[in-house]
Amino acid sequence: MPQVKIVARNFMDMVASLPVMKLDMLYDNSFICEAILRSLPPLAKKYVLQMLYIDIPITAKSMEEWVLPDGFSKHKVAIDRLIQLRVMTETFDRKKEAMYQLNPKFQFNLQKHIVYGGVLPREPMPSNITVRLPSLEELEAYAVEQWECFLLNLISSSEAGKTTNISSSMMKIFQRGLLSQRDDREPPRLTESGFQFLLMDTNAQLWYIIREYITNAEERGVDSADLIAFLLELSFHVTGKAYNTNTITDLQRSIIKDLSDLGLVKLQQGRKESWFIPTKLATNLSISLADTTTRKQGFIVIETNFRLYAYSTSKLHCEILRLFARVEYQLPNLIVGAINKESLYKAFQNGITSEQIVSFLQQNAHPRVAERIPSVPENVTDQIRLWESDLNRVEMTPAHFYDEFPSKDVFEAACDFAREYGGLLWEDSKRMRLVVKADILAEMKEFLRRQKQ
């Protein structure tokens, strides 16, 4: 599923594309330095650590000596990423040789972190004020519930029990690109990327949403650098601890409200004070920054008779399966369904490809069947592909039909012209009829007018 990587990388590119001034400002915050460091490729991390206590620029040549010939491409990627994120600056000496040096702010913050240790972004509230804090399990359940509720709302599913408090304009922004609506009477449909989005793991989905949230921050009058800084800072809070909302700015308070709808934090109100409790989703924010291939445990078993068993309690999983399978019954922890021609045709019509379905089934295979090769029975995968190619037997090309040519010569010339443009689809020289692609209509018209004169 390459999409996951692209999304994660886009976020880093977004940070990298910030103006120099803003990026340097971000590095004032030691949490951001830490999050950025963790997001780097392994080799780049290694270089940062190695150069942490070197104050003079290092020549590119001596850095190249660190790697084996095999790793040169990785070395290049690492250096490029470091420069792109302005973790390292490139200078040239008198002999025009490239020299590299760590960003002094970044270097200072990391040195401080290593020697003195990181301080918590803010102190948690004492437990005598916050009496009824949820346990970690409750908090996790809350986060999952909020997130699924949000996703169900996002795909405008009828299964969504309750609506989230996220404004509909905000929801529209999130839905952009994931859903498409042909006209107002029809319910919106999931697009291809919408389907891919549902197949991503929670962290990747979260970043996709957060990314949209950040890119639209400027429209709401929020500085995106501030927003990024706060989000990354949030990820370094301790899960399950209460933090006083008085310690954050008004702007951050409004962000917190939005985040609570996504399940990143839980808001609670005491007698006098109010506080927010970060959930695992929030503290995992900096993890999903990393360009990693994290994967959850699968839950789907498929039999050779096209029966599908999904061990899941999630409504969302059920919704996803419904996209390409017929769900027959739902037990408390099990969804039973079948894949058949009708359900697959429905999926193909929605722009989902057989490859996507097969890879979804393979990647979410239950641990019991995941060990087997292939994890999805071959006859099922073959049949899914066959059914898709069935649909592709007829290929449609918009075209124009010409007949009643005045003479054979004009007809021949028109044929040659269309052929030259690669738009000739069919010709019948006996009855002088011709079909050309719609793409070259304008050229064809012009040509025929000239012929008439």
Partner 1 sequence: MTPVSSKLYADDVSLLMVLVDTNPYFWSSMKNTAFTFPKFISHVLAFLNSILLLNQMNQVVVIATGYNSCDYVFDSSTSSMQRAECLLEKLEDFVDKDESLSQEDSVDGVGFSLLSGALSMALCYIQRVFRSGPLHPQPRILCLHGSPDGPGQYVAVMNSIFSAQRSMVPIDSCVIGSQHSAFLQQASYITGGVYLKPQVSDGLFQYLSTVFATDLHSRSFLQLPRPVGVDFRASCFCHKNTIDMGFICSVCLSIFCKHHKKCSTCGSNFGEARKQDPSASDQRRTSYGS
Q: State the residue for tokens 């918009």.
A: 398
Q: Does 80 bind partner 1 (CB under 8 A)?
A: no
Helix (H, G, I), strand (E, B) or coil at 436: strand
Using CB under 8 A as the binding rule, whether residue 110 contacts partner 1 is answered as yes
Burial degree of 431 (CB within 10 A; 0-12, 13-18, 19+): exposed
Tokens of 312: 């899941």
Q: Is 373 in the site for partner 1 (CB under 8 A)?
A: yes
Which range of residues in 30-38, 168-176, 402-410, 437-445 is near partner 1 by CB under 8 A?
30-38
CA distance linking residue 336 with residue 326, whole number of Å: 9
**44-63: which residues touch partner 1 (CB under 8 A)?**
45-46, 49-50, 52-53
Residue 105's SS3 state is helix
Q: In this chain, which stretch among 16-24, 226-234, 292-300, 415-423 interacts with partner 1, using CB under 8 A?
A: 292-300
Cβ atoms of 5 and 363 within 8 Å: the answer is no
Q: 249: which residues sit within 8 A by CB, 6+ positions away?
A: none
H runs (alpha helix) in 242-372:
250-262, 280-283, 285-289, 315-322, 341-349, 354-363, 367-370
114 is a contact residue toward partner 1 (CB under 8 A): yes
Tell me the one-letter amino acid at 313.
Answer: T
Q: Which of 20, 56, 70, 126 binds partner 1 (CB under 8 A)?
A: 70
Q: Is 183 in the site for partner 1 (CB under 8 A)?
A: no
Amino acid at 390: D
Answer whether the bond into residue 374 is a cis peptide, omega within 30°: yes
Determine if 358 is a binding residue for partner 1 (CB under 8 A).
yes
**Considering only residues 262-291, where is the footprint of partner 1 by CB under 8 A?**
286-287, 290
Least Å distance between CB 298 and partner 1? 8
Q: What letter would DSSP give residue 71? A: G
Q: Which two tokens stand for residue 347?
A: 């999926």
Query: Could you say whether residue 363 binds partner 1 (CB under 8 A)?
Result: yes
CB of 8 to partner 1, least distance (A): 11
Residue 115 in the binding site for partner 1 (CB under 8 A):
yes
**How many other C-beta atoms lie within 10 A of the C-beta of residue 38?**
13
Residue 14 C-beta: closest distance to partner 1, Å: 21
Any contact of residue 314 with partner 1 (CB under 8 A)? no
Nearest-approach distance from CB 49 to partner 1, in angstroms: 5
Is position 42 an interface residue for partner 1 (rule: CB under 8 A)? yes
Let me know the angle formed at the C-alpha of 301 by 297 and 302, rounded to the nearest 5 degrees. 140
Q: How many residues bind partner 1 (CB under 8 A)?
A: 43
- Give the x/- contact pattern for partner 1 in 404-423, rule: CB under 8 A: --------------------
Q: Does 148 engage in binding with partner 1 (CB under 8 A)?
A: no
Cα–Cα distance, 356 to 200 (Å, whole number): 12
Q: How far is the CB of 100 from partner 1 (least distance, A)?
A: 16
Are 253 and 150 contacting, i.e. CB atoms less than 8 angstroms apart?
no
Single out the residue of 157, 197, 192 nearest to residue 149, CA to CA.
Answer: 157
Q: Which residues bind partner 1 (CB under 8 A)?
A: 34, 37-38, 42-43, 45-46, 49-50, 52-53, 65-68, 70-71, 74-75, 110, 113-115, 117-118, 286-287, 290, 292-296, 298, 358-359, 362-363, 365, 367, 370, 373, 375
